[in-house]
Chain A
């Protein structure tokens, strides 16, 4: 029981603590009044020292390759200091940038996946840098520039691109006598054969969380989920070619030929390690992801061109990849755009990006991949980068992302999840997503044409 009488000794100590706390509160108020905001300290006139705050997840503070890039730029531009900061992936970066934009306290360069760009453009958070990048225009392919160009205005410098391939377990495909599929029809046959040979194994997991994958599937089949028609948006998620891809995957799910399982969960990782998930159709970054969860399977994998819908037509769209944008309220927009242009589009910059284990969007970086070692997952596949280079040359399907990709993502993913679990119609999923996306566009005030 607490003593009802005051205890003198702890009391005195208490008081000292209290005085300390009071002093601190005063200091705190003083600091509140005097402490400069993070950006006001580096406001400088042109030519003076400039600090560029760079939000990126590809250039990590402690990574020597990232440090080499920054050091190189500092060497050439002694008045510029680039400060790297990782605030999360695309979704986190976008929401933070929008809040920062509202507060008028933005960074100077921001990495953003292509699909996240339009939402930031219509929010007015990204700056039109067409004039700033005019000088490096030739450093990047036009179909890559297309990913960051809206209404003929450039809003970002491409960093990396995702040419799509099929990465598969070469050893197990051989063992089970499965031919590497060249078309999606052959893919279904291969899936069937794998289920016969090993009842616990699947050709791939069916991950509903990969909106980009399904969008790419539809694009490969000839559909455009978003497109602009003059001043209006056109949404084609429920267009016939798109629905055909829905039918294809529904059939595989119905016949239990793919495993309904999100990607990169501990479960997926375990299945990949144990040779129970045998392939992953994704961009060229897939091998390094697989290697990080299943390093012991290195040497057993290979990549092949993505299967096709129409035999003989090798065109595929890009999947993933990101660009550098300059926030509209950056205080050093000129220097920021110059840095972004150097890193993404100059010969020197795009070659350095290769050191970050990503597939550079710039021509020089792409050229450099040809003499690069194959990914650690497939040291035996010496022609890996010749393959991806060929894929890029075939990549002629431009994908336009709309301003409300997030609305599509959650609507699509949630509906597809329940359809996959309850074995209901996938077409209905695409149609429901179409309705959600159109309704959201109209609510915001966009014109949507049929």
Chain B
């Protein structure tokens, strides 16, 4: 779609040029928004309508589906939503803080073993989470934490990619001179970090928070292997139990789709709220280094 548009741009007369970027961008927006719109439309359909009417024709079952979702397991879905908010919210806050501290240390201090430490942490991105889930479970089970909220919270606080980004942000956004000046004034290191570094890095931290929030919210494998008490499930795991059933269970497509639509809402809201932090200098060219 966009390939055609760029081709057009080359050939088109000069007076069209100012509009072309806008047209291409609007096409891109359309491409990205259409499937989201589909989820909303599909959530309004009864089982029959879902499979027989035109995809974007609104259905008649929106409230029924919502009521069905709410009624499922005595309102269990909303409890899952709260759990997800807890895991993703608290997990992302702690993860961002831990990443910020580590990233700042790696960016602004020269110490022996710095590059080695950074490389080891970065290598953590290379290991697929699938194979770590079971060892993590056995580890937490051995201290009696498996099955608790902590078992889903603790492992997600460490985020190698977040540390990597924080190092980049700290490099770009925190000038040496400011730190030196603060030290000369006799400020303690913790105080410098809290009052000077964190505020300077706030835009980057918003990014790390958002990425980690979305990551935890969408994580399925870790809660699946850790939790067996349905009351502690996050939304993704709950929706998964809708989809995977033993033979003979009834089909829950409308609930899955309604659940998906509802579960995406907080993420979209978060993107909309946090994107105002993304002004021009989000990464401040830091990815150059």
Are chains A and B touching in the complex at the 8 Å CB cutoff?
A: yes
Write the residues of chain A forming the contact surface with B, with a CB cutoff of 8 angstroms. Answer: 1-8, 10-12, 14-15, 18, 21, 24-25, 28, 31-32, 35-38, 40, 53, 55, 57-58, 60-62, 83-92, 96, 99-100, 102-105, 107, 111, 113, 160, 162, 212, 264, 266, 269-270, 272-274, 283, 285, 288-289, 291-296, 319-322, 357-358
Taking the closest CB of chain A, its distance from the CB of B111, in whole angstroms, is 23
- Residues on the B chain within 8 Å of A272, using CB: 51
CB proximity to A under 8 Å, residues B235-250: 240-241, 244-250
In the complex, the answer to whether B248 meets A61 with C-beta atoms within 8 Å is no
Q: Which residues in A have their C-beta under 8 angstroms from that of B247?
A: 113, 162, 212, 283, 285, 319-321
Q: Give Cα distance in the complex from A296 to B153, angstroms.
A: 45
**A330 to B: closest C-beta gap in Å:** 13
What 1/0 mask marks residues of chain B from 182 to 223 whose CB sits below 8 Å from any chain A CB?
A: 100000000000111011101100000000000000000000
The answer to whether A60 and B73 have CB atoms under 8 Å apart is yes
Contacts of B73 in A (CB 8 A): 60-62
**Does B52 lie within 8 Å of A273, measured CB to CB?**
yes
Closest residue of chain A to B143 (Cβ to Cβ) is A32
Whether A21 pairs with B182 at a CB distance below 8 angstroms is: no
Select the residue from B74, B153, B251 with max chain A CB neighbours within 10 A. Answer: B251
> Given A5-B178, A88-B240, A162-B247, are A103 and B141 neighbors across the interface (CB < 8 Å)?
yes
> Contact between A37 and B145 (Cβ–Cβ < 8 Å)?
yes
Q: Which chain B residues border A28 with CB–CB below 8 Å?
A: 150, 153-154
Question: Are A96 and B47 interface neighbours, CB within 8 A?
Answer: no
B78–chain A nearest beta-carbon distance, Å: 12
User: What are 12 A-B residue pairs whose CB atoms fall within 8 Å in the complex?
Assistant: A2-B281, A6-B182, A31-B150, A32-B145, A37-B148, A40-B144, A60-B73, A87-B228, A99-B134, A99-B137, A105-B147, A288-B250
Contacts of A288 in B (CB 8 A): 248, 250
B50 within 8 A of A: yes
Interface of B is mostly: helix
Say which residue of A32, A36, A283 sits within 8 Å of B248 (CB atoms): A283
Q: Give which listed residue, A38, A99, A283, contacts B229 with CB less than 8 A.
A: A38
Whether the pair B253, A103 counts as a contact (CB closer than 8 A) is no
Report whether A21 and B195 are in contact in the complex, using a CB–CB cutoff of 8 Å. Answer: no
Contact status A270-B52, CB under 8 Å: yes
Whole-angstrom CA separation of A92 from B244 in the bound complex? 9
Task: Please pick, from A3, A32, A89, A266, the residue contacting B51 in the complex, using a CB distance under 8 A.
Answer: A266
B178's contact among A6, A14, A31, A269, by CB below 8 Å, is which?
Answer: A6
- Closest-by-CB residue of B relative to A100 is B228
Q: A8-B195, A320-B247 are in contact. Are A99 and B150 (CB under 8 A)?
A: no
In the complex, B94 has a CB within 8 A of chain A: yes
A3–B280 alpha-carbon span in the complex (Å): 13
Does A2 contact B248, Cβ atoms closer than 8 Å? no
Q: How many residues of B contact A (CB 8 A)?
A: 61
**Shortest Cβ gap from B205 to chain A (Å):** 10
In this complex, which of B141, B177, B178 has the most chain A Cβ atoms within 10 angstroms of its Cβ?
B141
Are B138 and A103 closer than 8 Å at their CB atoms? Answer: yes
Checking A36, A58, A274, A293 against B246 with a beta-carbon cut-off of 8 angstroms, the contacting residue is A58
A88 B244 Cβ-Cβ under 8 A: yes
For B52, give the chain A residue with the smallest CB separation: A273
Is B175 part of the contact surface with A, judged by Cβ < 8 Å?
A: yes
Q: Would A292 and B250 be within 8 Å (CB), given that A2-B281, A87-B241, A99-B138 are in contact?
A: yes
Chain B residue nearest to A56 in the complex (CB):
B246
Beta-carbon contacts of B114-141 to A below 8 Å, as 1s and 0s?
A: 0000000000000000000010011001
B241 x A86 contact (CB < 8 A): yes
Interfacial chain A residues near B260, Cβ < 8 Å: none
Q: Assuming A62-B72, A269-B251, is B147 touching A37 (CB within 8 A)?
A: yes
For the complex of A and B, list the 3 residue pairs with the smallest distance between their C-beta atoms, beginning with the closest: A285-B248, A37-B144, A103-B141
Q: How far is the CA of A55 from the CA of B51 in the complex (A)?
A: 32
Is residue B62 contacting chain A, with contact meaning CB distance below 8 A? no
Query: How far does the Cβ of A31 sit from chain B's closest Cβ, in whole Å?
Result: 7
Residues of B within 8 A of A358 (CB): 248
Of the candidates A92, A274, A319, A321, the one whose C-beta lies within 8 Å of that of B52 is A274
Contact residues in B for A58 (Cβ distance below 8 Å): 246, 249
Decide: B48 and A296 in contact? CB cutoff 8 A: yes
Could you say which residues of chain A place their CB within 8 Å of the CB of B202? 10
CB distance from A91 to the nearest CB of B (A): 8
In the complex, whether B168 has a CB less than 8 A from a CB of chain A is no
Task: Indicate whether A61 sits within 8 Å of B229 (C-beta atoms), given known contacts A11-B196, A38-B148.
Answer: no
Most chain A beta-carbon contacts within 10 A, residue among B71, B90, B134, B194: B194
Interface hub of B93, B143, B200 (most chain A Cβ within 10 A): B200
Asked if residues B246 and A322 are in contact (CB atoms below 8 Å), the reply is: yes
On whether the beta carbons of A89 and B246 are closer than 8 Å, the reply is yes
Is B225 located at the chain interface by the 8 A CB criterion? yes
Q: Is the CB of A295 within 8 A of B47?
A: yes
- For residue B284, CB closer than 8 A to chain A, the reply is yes
Q: Which A residues are in CB contact (< 8 Å) with B2?
A: none
CB closest chain-B residue, reference A1: B281
A321 vs B138: C-alpha distance when bound (angstroms): 31
Whether A103 contacts B137 in the complex (CB less than 8 A), given A32-B150, A40-B144, comes out as yes
B182's closest neighbor in chain A, by CB? A6
Tell whether, in the assembled complex, residue A85 and residue B228 are in contact, meaning their CB atoms are under 8 Å apart.
Answer: yes
Known: A96-B225, A105-B141. 19 other contacts (CB 8 A): A2-B173, A2-B203, A4-B178, A11-B198, A14-B198, A15-B194, A18-B97, A32-B143, A35-B150, A38-B147, A38-B228, A57-B246, A90-B246, A103-B137, A103-B142, A269-B51, A270-B51, A289-B251, A292-B47
